[in-house]
Every structure is written in C-alpha cells, then in structure tokens.
Amino acid sequence: MNVFQKNVAMLRCQDPALASQVLDATGGTLSIQAAKSGVPTAVVNNRSIHSAYDPLREAEQWAAHQANDCQAGEALVVLGVGLWYHVEALLGKVSQDSIVMIVVPCLSEFVDGLAVRSLDGWGERVKWVWGDPEHMATQVLQQGHRVRLLTYEPALSLHLELYDAFRFQLREQLSKRVSGALNIMVVGPIYGGSLPIAGYVVRALESLGHCVSWVDHSLHYPGYHHLGTIRDDRLRLTVQQRFSDTLGVISLAHVAEDPPDIVLAMSQAPLSMAVLEQMRRKKVLTAMWFVENFRHMTYWQQMIGGYDFWFVMQQAACLEAFKNAGASHVSYLPLAADPTIHQSVKLTEQERAELEADVSFLGAGYRNRREMLPALLGHEWTFKLWGNEWDNAGTLGKVLQRNGARIDTSTSVKIFNGTKVNVNLHSYTGEGFDPDGDSVNPRTFELASCGAFQVIDHRTLLPDLFDDTMMGVVKTPEELVPAIRKYLHEPEQRQVMAEASQQRVVMCHTYAHRMQTLLSTMGLACPDRIGAILQGERQAESLLARSRGCPELAPLLKSFPKTDRVELVDMARTIRLKGPEAQLKREELLILMMDEYRQEKRDFL
C-alpha cells in the first residue's frame, strides 16, 4: 500500500463518507516539490504554501505561537490545509483533551496532501470537517466545546471565500446558541446621528439578556454646546478637546467601578487613545461601531489601534482600508431598526392634518438633496419637506415644515406612516447620487420597519439587505419623479412592498440581530474571554461541572441558581453573607483575598 492508500484506509475508519469522496476526487491543486530539508512542500501559482527550506521548522513556530492562547478542552478549528505540517506540530503542543478539527475547503487540495504526507501517528487525533459552509459550521458546533479558530494564512488564502462563508455560518449559528450574559458598557457620543443608535443598541443588548450600562455623554451636551460661545477658533477647539478628554476619563472611571467584559463605543464617543490604551492595560476589550462613511469621517485613522474590534457599515474598500491602517479585527455590520420604536402607528386626526402627505422627505439639507428635491415641486401630489439644516432653502422653503426644526424620533415614525411615498436620498456633498455610494442609511431600515413605502437611491450594498420587491430603487436622479408617479398610482403594490420590507427587518435587520452578530464575532475571536461567557461557561451549573479540581468549591457554587453568571465578586459576596460567626474554609479565604485585590482601583485613572 502506498501513502495515499494507507491514508484513505485510516480515513475510512474515521469518516467513511469522506474517504469515499476522496477516492472520487482528483488532485492537482497543489504542486508538490521537495523542500531544501528534503521533505515535500507545496506551491500554488508560484506561491509557497509551506516553507521552501524547512516546512517542519516553520510549522513548529506557527504551532508554538498558536498554542500560547489555546486552552484545554477547546475545539481547535484549523483554517488552511496544505500539507498539514502545522496541524501535526500543533497536536504536539496542545492538551490531549483538545479537539483538533481541520476544515477541508477543497477535496482536490486534500487529495494532493494525502498522496504525499502520511497521517500515520496523528491522523486519528483530528476530525476532518467538510461539505458546504453551513454543514461544516454545524459539525464544529455539534462538538459542544468552546471553539477557537486557528488560521494558517498561506493555505487559507487559497480558499478565502469559502472560509469567509464558513466563518459567517459559524457566527450565525453561534449567535443563536447564546446562553450566557455579558456585562457590556455602551459609550455614546455627546450628540449627533450615532446618539439615537446608541440608545437602540442599549435596548437591543438588554433584550438579548445582557447586563448593559450606558455611559450617556449627551447629558453633557449643554456644557459642550456652550463652549461654542468662545469666539477664537483655536481656543474653542482646544477647550472642546479638553472637555471631550475629560468625558473620556469619566468613562474610564465607570469602567474602573464596574469593569465590563466589553466596552462598546459608538461613533464620536469621546474616548481618546490614552483612555483606550488604559482600558487595554486593564484587560478591558473594546469595540467601536463606526456608523459613519469612512471616506468622509476620517478620524478612525488616528484611533485605529485603540480599539480591539471595529465594526463598519461599509464593505470591501472600507474593510481593506481599516486592515491596512492596522485594525486587528474589522467586520461589516450594517445599520438596522428597532421595531419596538420604528413601527406601524395610527395617526390622530390632528396628526394626519399636519403630518400626512403624498410624498415626503425627511433629512438634513445636504447639497445633493437641495438640487434634486425641487424637481418634486409643482406636481399633482402634495410634497412635504421635514428636517433641519435647510437654511436658504429657496423654492423648497414653501414645503419645509415646522420652519426646519429638528424632528424627533416619534414624529419621524408618524411622518413615515402618514406618507404614501417616502423619498429616501442618501446624503452627498456633490451633485446627484454618490458615485461611491455603498452603505445604507438608518432611514432605510426605519422606514421599512414602520411598514412605510420608500423610493430610495441605489446603493451597492442595498441588494444584500433588501431587494427591489421591497422598495422602489432609482439609479439616477432622473428616475426619481417617474418612480414617485408610478408608485403613487399603485397603492396595493406599495402596501405589498412595504410589508415585505417590514418583514425583512423583523427577520434580519433589527439592532438585536446586529448585536448578536457583533457579539458572536467577538466571541469567535476571543473564545476564552467572550465566547466562553456567551456559551454559558460562567454560569453556576457550568462552573460546578468543571470544579472537580477543587471540590471544596462545590457547596458554594451550588448556592447559586444554575443559570446565574457567577464571578469572583458574587462568590465573595455570598461568603460574606455567611455572617460574623462563620468558620471559613481555606478556599473561601482565598476567594475573599482575591476579591480584595479585584476591587483595587488606585492606578486606573
């Protein structure tokens, strides 16, 4: 029997279906060559998958680096196959009770490996994960262990799309299995568009059962706003910066008092690099949901190294720019709606009189809107313009409502509900539609969530979120008026489309969905710090099951409800509640001692 046949024989015992598929597959993906050290190495399109000199030594280094983070009992999922030198080396460095799984994205590559590298002596310790991405994710999670992804980049880059799809599936399935509650601190901005989103995020996280504290800096807005009375530009900017820095220190004080598992900052949150670095020193994970256009708001470049995780509402170019700038983790996370706020409502007679219209636009007076919206005047329909920053509105002045006052959320919802065709034009400081327009604004989700019909300008990321059976999509400014006219005459069609968009929001685009995605992304990247908590490993029941090494803790852990998250502070509190006469066990004294040091705050600020 040659190496291939021996390998297939071993596979047949482990996974007969895979062995059968292997026999039907043909190789040829990897070009096998001899490395300088004499062992086989692999090349694809002139790119080495393993070292051309010494693949074994290279694999040892990779494995040593990866094994630093791995913990006993985890499911270690290796992305990147090649000739699996790295997997073999990994097995020699991790605990025997770790489960090592290798995701096989391509049978051809696998066959090439089976032909030249023996599985003998280690192959029986690994599980091969194969099939479509959804199935592979299910196989991994069926193990019931904490999942840690380990990437071997040279081989991973051969099948990027498939691995991305696998990660997406894994994240989605994990997000539905969450049983543990995190302590999350949401840090909002002083003012601006991300302020209401911070509120929605807080509600969503609470609805998912997490313990949330909101550091709401909008309380300080009056003071910040008053600084605008300083006439000298440099003085004003300096003072505003110091004001903002102070709010950052206030955030840090909140973190010191109750250290959260995650600090989630919204765009414009006043957290300076110094504050973020201090949080990192104190082992607090930080994430930023950057709900801005990265091309227009560029402050992320200065902050990129400050946050552990970045979530952005744009894809491709944005993700690449953030990675190139040094972001360690950056993920796409589009905006959403909150169906408990953005919902269908009935208007009173008085509200109808003021808020109803055939056609409405609600938003700020950006240049492209000022140029396109006059085309909506003078038609057979009524048109109302809502929102602020419409100074010198010109012909639009006669349709501008409430003298251009800022419209609050509940009124917005009523306007959306009271309008037959809501016009949703994304802001742009140039003419017409933004040629780079990719991200989808919050109004799109909010209108849909209200069950309101909208005509929207085309965005490259829109089709992934809503299709054209859910809203009228125009690709040029010239299509806007005909589209409005068309839909005004098709009330039933409007209703069908609006309801479809509303269902889509409820199914996929609520802030709760976004937070599930955000947390499972962080959980996958930090399996021991976040993933473990999300999977309930800090719950009393789970801690009890794992307390065999220290059975003296069992009675204490049993005193908690099974599904309660139990931390050092909770155990210490329970011990102290035993009362002054209590005779404490040694383990209880050790917990009290550690709790004393846990409370130490002296070097936090």
Partner 1 sequence: MPRSLLIQLARLGDLIQSLPAISSLHSSLPDQPFDLLCAAPLTPIGKLFSGIQGVYPWEGERWHDLATMDGGHKERLVIAAEQYIADCAFPQYSVAYNLNNHPRSIVASHLLSKRVVGAGDQGPLRLSRPPWVTYLRQMASDRGSNRIHLADAFCGVCGVNPPAVVPTIQATHVDLPTDLAHMVNEGSWDRIGIVLGAGDGDRRVPLVAWRQFIEACIDRLPNGLCVLIGGPGEREAALALEDQLPPSYLSRLFNCVGRTSLPQLAHVFNRCQWVVGSDTGPLHVGVACGARAIGWYFSRARVHETGPYGVGHYVWQCRRSADPERLDVPSVKSVTQLPCSWPVMETLQLMQDQHGSENPTEWELWKSHRDEWGMFYMNGEQPDAAVLQRKNIWERLSAPSANQYSDFSPHSLIAGCSS
Q: Which residues bind partner 1 (CB under 8 A)?
A: 282-283, 528-529, 532-533, 537-538, 543, 546-550, 552-553, 557, 566-568, 571, 576, 578-584, 586-587, 589-598, 600
Closest to partner 1 by CB, 351 or 528: 528
- Shortest Å, Cβ 586 to partner 1: 7
The single-letter code of the amino acid at 152 is Y
Give me the least distance between CB of 72 and partner 1, in Å please. Answer: 9
Strand partners, 31: 43
**CA torsion 347→352→358→364, rounded to 10°?**
-80
Nearer to partner 1, 38 or 580 (CB): 580
The nearer residue to partner 1, 420 or 538, going by C-beta atoms, is: 538
Rounded to the nearest 5°, which phi and psi values hold at 431? -95, 150
Residue 226 vs 601, nearer CB to partner 1: 601
Task: Return the number of the residue (375 or 584) whose C-beta is nearest partner 1.
Answer: 584
Q: Are 29 and 158 in contact (CB under 8 A)?
A: yes
Task: Pick the closer one to partner 1 by CB: 353 or 554.
Answer: 554
**DSSP category for residue 400:** B
SS3 content of the chain, % helix, strand, coil (to 5): 50, 15, 35
- Specify the residue, 503 or 599, whose C-beta has the smaller distance to partner 1: 599
What is the rounded distance in angstroms from the CA atom of residue 489 to the CA atom of residue 486? 6
Type of residue numbered 24: D
Map residue 602 onto helix, strand or coil. coil
Show the tokens assigned to 270. Answer: 């006043």
Per the DSSP assignment, residues forming a β-bridge with 309 are: 287
> Residue 210 Cβ, how far from partner 1 at the closest point, in Å?
17
DSSP-derived secondary structure for 7-56: HHHHHHHH-HHHHHHHHH----SSEEEE-TTSSEEEEETTEESS-SS-HH
**Judged by CB, which is closer to partner 1: 7, or 286?**
286
Nearer to partner 1, 436 or 587 (CB): 587
- Least distance to partner 1 from the beta carbon of 283, Å? 6
CA 337 to chain centre: 16
DSSP character string of 510-571: BHHHHHHHHHHHHHHHSIIIIIHHHTTTTBHHHHHHTGGG-GGGHHHHHTS-TTSB--HHHH
Among the listed residues 273, 30, 11, the one whose alpha carbon sits nearest the alpha carbon of residue 159: 30
